[in-house]
């Protein structure tokens, strides 16, 4: 699944519809350093994760172009095969759409109304 990691009181947490889950990266030192860099730049980092015993295990950290047209089609296709869609107003596809929330252009289904990051944000806020 795809989610957002934040630094809260010196600890890393994954924001999800299940609540704030503690983070446990696969390759601890390298992943922690990369996560901290991304969080220092943007206040958060987009990641791919699995949940094991109420802990989010980070499998991949996405670049800053996550969910945008500049992101490679192969990356989006691989992620789409692992996630359950639709998520909010996003469904994978090959049409160029404009997000109703952030106004960025993204590739998605012809009826998609949100980019993937905004759709995930909508779920987190629920």
Percentage of residues in the chain having pLDDT higher than 90: 16
Domain count, the chain: 2
In a domain, 102, yes or no: yes
Does one domain contain both 55 and 81?
A: no
Indicate if the pLDDT at residue 50 is higher than 90: no
Extract the tokens encoding 13.
């947490």
Same-domain check for residues 8 and 51: yes
Claim to verify: residue 57 and residue 83 sit in the same structural domain = no
Closest C-alpha among 102, 96, 101 to residue 73: 96
d(CA 115, CA 13): 23
* Radius of gyration for the alpha carbons in the chain, expressed in angstroms and rounded: 14
Higher-scoring residue by pLDDT: 14, 123: 14
Q: Are residues 113 and 86 in the same domain?
A: yes
The tens digit of pLDDT for each residue in 13-45 reads 898 777 888 887 655 667 778 888 889 888 899
pLDDT confidence of residue 9: 84
Residues 52, 77: one domain? Answer: no
3-state SS string for 54-98: CEEEEEEECCCCCCCCCCCHHHHHHHHHHCCCCECCECCCCEEEE
Same-domain status, 81 and 45? no
- Tell whether the torsion through CA atoms of 126, 40, 102 and 3 is positive or negative: negative
pLDDT at residue 121, as a whole number: 87
Domain limits at 84? 73-125
- Is residue 27 one of the residues assigned to a domain? yes
* 79-108 mean pLDDT: 87
């Amino acid at each position: 699944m795809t989610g957002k990691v934040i630094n809260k009181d010196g600890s890393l947490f994954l924001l999800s519809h299940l609540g704030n889950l503690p983070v446990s990266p696969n390759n601890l030192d390298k992943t922690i350093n990369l996560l901290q860099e991304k969080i220092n730049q943007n206040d958060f980092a987009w990641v791919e994760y699995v949940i094991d015993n109420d802990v989010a295990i980070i499998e991949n950290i996405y670049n800053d172009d996550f969910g945008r047209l500049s992101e490679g089609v192969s990356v989006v296709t691989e992620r789409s095969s692992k996630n359950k869609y639709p998520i909010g107003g996003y469904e994978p596809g090959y049409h160029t759409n404009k997000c109703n929330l952030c106004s960025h252009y993204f590739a998605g289904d012809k009826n998609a109304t949100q980019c993937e990051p905004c759709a995930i944000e909508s779920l987190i806020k629920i």
